[in-house]
């Protein structure tokens, strides 16, 4: 691997680790409190940069990290779209949001193509990853693309819708980071006994449960103050 790719990988992993810790802090902290806001800001910053570096890494070394290119693009658009939704509540139909939606749409096409290529291979893998890996990521990307592009047709965006969008995009980004660390490439650093036990999938499950909880709470009891712009 070229030296530049090794450096990018090191920074990517380091920032991803910080993002996971910050994301956990944001979920566990009192919503609307200073700790939640600081943890959320740190998560957005580190996750955004780590995602961008992951996408670059996938292009530099596709034989080993190709799917990281697609995952990085998705993570970056999730964080950027979430930030824009909260910080610019009256500009959800702006050019930036449209560009994010188009990027996700193009990313979806690439993932479906990669999954189809993997399906046609004798071992069901293309560039080191199985077809189901590509299709699973394609499902998340498609969900994000639909959510982005439908904003173009909405004249207004209620506080509940805006905060719900912020929540699911941040949590989905957190889910991607945790998946990369615990059940993806990062799983190799854990002992075989722990890797085979299924415990490494627990963080992803907890993140999805937390997402469902906060979405239900947002729609039934109103938007939590945690996601209001500082």
Q: What is the pLDDT of residue 150?
A: 83
How many helical (H) and strand (E) elements, i.e. helices and strands, does the chain have? 8, 2
The tens digit of pLDDT for each residue in 167-204 reads 889 999 999 988 888 887 777 777 888 878 888 888 89
78-87 per-residue burial string, b: 16 or more CB within 10 A, e: under 16? bbbbbbbbbe
Question: Looking at residue 214, what is its pLDDT?
Answer: 82
The CA distance from 60 to 74, in Å, is 18
pLDDT of the residue at 228: 46
Instruction: Classify 126 as helix, strand or coil.
Output: strand
Tens-digit pLDDT profile for the chain (230 aa)?
457 888 898 899 899 999 999 999 888 887 778 888 899 899 999 999 999 999 999 999 898 889 999 999 999 999 998 888 877 665 556 788 888 999 999 999 999 999 999 999 999 999 989 999 999 999 999 999 998 888 777 767 777 888 888 888 999 999 998 888 888 777 777 788 887 888 888 889 999 998 888 888 877 765 554 444 43
pTM for this entry: 0.85
Rounded Cα distance, 180 and 202, in Å: 13
CB 170 within 8 A of CB 82: yes
CA distance 50 to 20: 11
Q: Which two tokens stand for residue 148?
A: 């982005």
Distance of CA 56 to the CA centre of its chain: 16
pLDDT single digits (tens) 143-158: 999 988 887 777 677 7
Burial class (CB within 10 angstroms; exposed 0-12, middle 13-18, buried 19+) of 41: middle
DSSP class of residue 191?
-
> Which among 36, 47, 32 has a CA at the least distance from the CA of 82?
47
Could you tell me where the beta strands, DSSP code E, fall in the chain? 125-126, 129-130
Lookup result for tokens 């103050």: 225
118, 130 in Cβ contact below 8 A? yes
**Predicted pLDDT at 57:** 92
pLDDT given at position 226: 44
pLDDT at 1: 46
């Amino acid at each position: 691997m070229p030296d530049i790719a090794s450096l990018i990988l090191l920074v990517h992993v380091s920032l991803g680790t910080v993002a996971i810790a910050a994301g956990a802090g944001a979920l566990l902290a009192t919503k609307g409190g200073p700790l939640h806001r600081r943890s959320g800001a740190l998560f957005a910053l580190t996750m955004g940069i780590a995602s961008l570096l992951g996408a670059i890494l996938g292009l530099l070394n596709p034989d080993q990290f190709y799917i990281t290119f697609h995952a990085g693009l998705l993570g970056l658009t999730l964080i950027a779209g979430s930030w824009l939704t909260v910080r610019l509540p009256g500009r959800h139909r702006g050019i930036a949001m449209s560009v994010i939606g188009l990027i996700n749409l193009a990313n979806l096409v690439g993932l479906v193509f990669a999954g189809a290529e993997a399906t046609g291979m004798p071992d069901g893998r293309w560039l080191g990853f199985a077809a189901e890996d590509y299709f699973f990521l394609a499902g998340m990307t498609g969900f994000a693309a639909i959510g982005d592009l439908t904003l173009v047709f909405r004249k207004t965006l209620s506080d509940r819708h805006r905060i719900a969008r912020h929540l699911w995009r941040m949590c989905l980004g957190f889910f991607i980071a945790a998946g990369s660390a615990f059940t993806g490439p990062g799983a190799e650093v854990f002992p075989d006994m722990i890797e085979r036990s299924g415990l490494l999938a627990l963080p992803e499950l907890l993140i999805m449960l937390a997402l469902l909880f906060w979405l239900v709470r947002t729609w039934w009891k109103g938007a939590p103050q945690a996601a209001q712009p500082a």
